[in-house]
């Protein structure tokens, strides 16, 4: 009986040592991986995969994104200014359009149409192209923080980040849906970049 | 998390809360409701209707028990002191006490493991999630809830509930539920989500008192206190501590009448997140 007890003690001591060594090893591994984790948080994002050919949405004015973004190099967030501070990117108010177009390109038929709306004190009835179902919570600000501001990405190149979900808007006139914006597609990016995986983070 | 969590931890899923469960919690949202302060005014219920797009089902459906009140104020009557009359009226003139009853956000909830499609599951925030677009309307969860706090959309109530222009009052932060979907109190998860988003934008943690649920906000006497029980400095955590109510305990052993805290159906070991403070009575009934 006594021998058995002693045996147990020896075993117990040895186990304690193993546990201590393991703990040290784990601590070392964790410490070594910390900078890696820190680096991966700011790492280049892996864009979601998959394309989709959406239907053309007819807009009241054929707004030329390409002229604004590609030719005149205007930042997406100059007009879609709410993107960095709210859930929605926002359609700019007509006053913002008129801020430039009181002077610029006033002879173009599109601008004349815009000026008509402006004089009638109406906003052009823009239609939503990238629409998510009502049961989805998506916030632009958190995505911009993660992919632009947190990794000190040059804000003037933000269009390449927007392109993850909106495609190359700089090559389009009116926006055309080129990404599926469905759950599997969202999830592909969330999994690749360590986004939240909890159902209730996005479903409401 | 979520579905993956359920699949991987299925054998542990019903591991009792007294063993610590199996979840890694970020927050554990909880409530403390002081029944001594509750005056039964139903403001909480009304606020809930407004905040959570609850459909108004109408008198006849209400009578059939189809009301969608996520938060209902239950009435209880003290036994009549007047022993001479053998007949007790349905609504005695005195002795009413009220109990706001909402989803208790159980930590080992009975509704979760019976869902065939994992539409209801436990979040890392300590909430019973209900994912509407995943729900197929089997109603197992509702039948398994000991509190009867889950409500089923038997009809498309939204068609008649908000005639124009009342549809403009709908809260865009959560779905308007359609026929065939189970719903229940979410502890105003849209507010939680907004507060967490705001906190993350500023690289900080959610502060206690930064936001509250609609019912707690509307309560005129402040009977409902909402907060994070993981945050020891929060008002709700202090109340739980003060009244010696602990998580993972299914039987309270308290001698001191000053410690009024209890949880409903604690003995079922569902580990609810809502603590009630018993009413103080001067009559000693």
Instruction: Using alpha carbons, select from A182, A177, A195 the residue that is nearest to residue A128.
Output: A177
Query: What is the pLDDT at residue A9?
Result: 45
pLDDT tens profile B239-264:
999 998 888 787 877 788 888 899 99
- Please state, rounded to an integer, the average pLDDT across all residues of chain B: 87
Please say if the pLDDT value at position A16 is more than 60.
no
Hey, is the C-beta of A146 within 8 angstroms of any chain B C-beta?
no
Residues in chain A: 204
Query: What is the pLDDT at residue A197?
Result: 85
Instruction: Using alpha carbons, select from A189, A121, B222, B82 the residue that is nearest to residue A202.
Output: A189
Query: What is the pLDDT at residue A25?
Result: 54
Please say if the pLDDT value at position A66 is more than 90.
yes
Instruction: Using alpha carbons, select from B14, B36, B5 the residue that is nearest to residue B221.
Output: B36
Interface of A with B in 83-112 (CB under 8 A): none
- Rounded to 10 degrees, the C-alpha dihedral A18/A23/A24/A25 comes to 90
Residue B228 DSSP SS3: strand
**Contact state of A204 with B121 under an 8 Å Cβ cutoff:** no
Instruction: Report if residue B48 sits inside a domain.
Output: yes
Tell me the two tokens of residue B47: 């606020």
Tell me the two tokens of residue B200: 């993350």
pLDDT tens profile A108-146:
999 999 999 999 999 999 999 999 999 999 999 999 999
In this prediction, what percent of chain B has a pLDDT beyond 70? 86
DSSP 8-state code for residue B17 = G
Tell me the two tokens of residue B66: 């189809």
With contact defined as beta carbons under 8 Å apart, do B23 and B6 qualify? no
Instruction: Report if residue B101 sits inside a domain.
Output: yes
Contacts of residue B244, defined as CB under 8 A and 6 or more positions apart, other chains included, come to B252, B254, B259, B261
Highest mean pLDDT among A51-55, B20-24, B157-161: B157-161
With contact defined as beta carbons under 8 Å apart, do A154 and A77 qualify? no
CATH of the domain at B44: 3.30.70.20
Residues in chain B: 285
Instruction: Report if residue B283 sits inside a domain.
Output: no
Contacts of residue B191, defined as CB under 8 A and 6 or more positions apart, other chains included, come to B211, B212, B213, B214
Read off the pLDDT of each residue in A41-58 and give the average, rounded to a whole number. Answer: 81
Read off the pLDDT of each residue in B185-206 and give the average, rounded to a whole number. Answer: 94
Instruction: Report if residue B131 sits inside a domain.
Output: yes
Interface of A with B in 107-136 (CB under 8 A): 133-135
Q: State the pLDDT confidence band at B88, using cuts at 50, 70 and 90.
A: low
Instruction: Report if residue B284 sits inside a domain.
Output: no
Instruction: Give the whole-angstrom CA distance, residue A142 versus residue A164.
Output: 15
**ipTM of the shown complex:** 0.82
The partner residue sitting opposite A200, judged by closest CB among B123, B175, B197, is B123
Which residue in chain B is spatially nearest to A133 when comparing CA positions?
B175
Residue found by looking up tokens 């509930």 in the block: B161
Read off the pLDDT of each residue in B101-127 and give the average, rounded to a whole number. Answer: 89
Domain of B58 in residue numbering reads as: 2-6+25-77+94-277
Dihedral sign of CA atoms B146, B269, A200, A187 in order = negative
Q: State the pLDDT confidence band at B225, using cuts at 50, 70 and 90.
A: very high
């Amino acid at each position: 009986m006594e021998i058995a007890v002693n045996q147990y003690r020896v075993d117990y001591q040895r186990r304690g040592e193993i546990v201590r060594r393991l703990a040290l090893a784990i601590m070392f591994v964790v410490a070594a991986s910390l900078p890696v984790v820190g680096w991966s948080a700011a790492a280049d994002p892996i864009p979601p995969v998959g394309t989709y050919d959406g239907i053309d949405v007819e807009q009241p004015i054929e707004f030329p994104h390409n002229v604004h973004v590609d030719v005149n190099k205007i930042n997406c967030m100059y007009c879609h200014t709410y993107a960095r501070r709210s859930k929605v990117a926002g359609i700019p108010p007509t006053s913002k359009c008129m801020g430039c177009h009181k002077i610029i390109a006033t002879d173009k038929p599109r601008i004349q149409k815009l000026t008509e709306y402006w004089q009638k004190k109406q906003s052009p009835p823009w239609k939503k192209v990238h629409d998510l179902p009502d049961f989805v919570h998506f916030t632009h600000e958190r995505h911009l923080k993660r992919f632009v501001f947190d990794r000190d990405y040059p804000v003037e190149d933000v269009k390449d980040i927007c392109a993850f979900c909106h495609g190359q808007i700089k090559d389009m006139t009116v926006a055309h849906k080129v990404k599926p914006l469905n759950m599997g597609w969202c999830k592909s990016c969330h999994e690749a970049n360590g986004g939240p995986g909890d159902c209730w983070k996005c479903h409401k | 998390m979520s579905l993956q969590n359920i699949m991987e931890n299925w054998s542990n899923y019903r591991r009792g809360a007294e063993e610590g469960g199996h979840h890694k919690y970020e927050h554990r949202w909880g409530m403390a409701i002081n029944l001594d302060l509750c005056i039964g005014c139903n403001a909480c219920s009304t606020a809930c209707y407004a905040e959570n797009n609850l459909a108004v089902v109408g008198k006849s459906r209400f009578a059939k028990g189809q009301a969608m009140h996520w938060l209902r104020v239950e009435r209880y009557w003290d036994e009549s002191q007047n022993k001479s009359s053998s007949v007790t009226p349905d609504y005695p003139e005195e002795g009413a006490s009220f109990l706001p009853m909402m989803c208790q956000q159980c930590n080992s909830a009975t509704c979760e493991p019976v869902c065939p499609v994992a539409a209801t599951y436990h979040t890392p925030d300590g909430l019973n999630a209900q994912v509407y677009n995943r729900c197929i309307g089997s109603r197992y969860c509702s039948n398994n809830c000991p509190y009867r706090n889950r409500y089923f959309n038997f009809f498309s109530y939204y068609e008649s509930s908000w005639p124009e222009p009342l549809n403009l009052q709908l809260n865009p932060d959560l779905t308007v539920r359609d026929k065939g979907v189970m719903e229940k109190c979410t502890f105003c998860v849209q507010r939680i989500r907004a507060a967490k988003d705001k906190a993350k934008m500023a690289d900080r943690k959610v502060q206690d008192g930064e936001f509250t649920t609609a019912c707690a906000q509307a309560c005129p006497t402040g009977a409902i206190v909402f907060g994070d029980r993981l945050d020891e400095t929060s008002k709700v955590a202090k109340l739980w501590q003060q009244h010696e109510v602990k998580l993972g305990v299914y039987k309270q052993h308290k001698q001191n009448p000053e410690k009024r805290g209890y949880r409903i159906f604690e003995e079922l070991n569902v580990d609810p997140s809502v603590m009630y403070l018993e009413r103080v009575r001067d009559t000693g009934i």
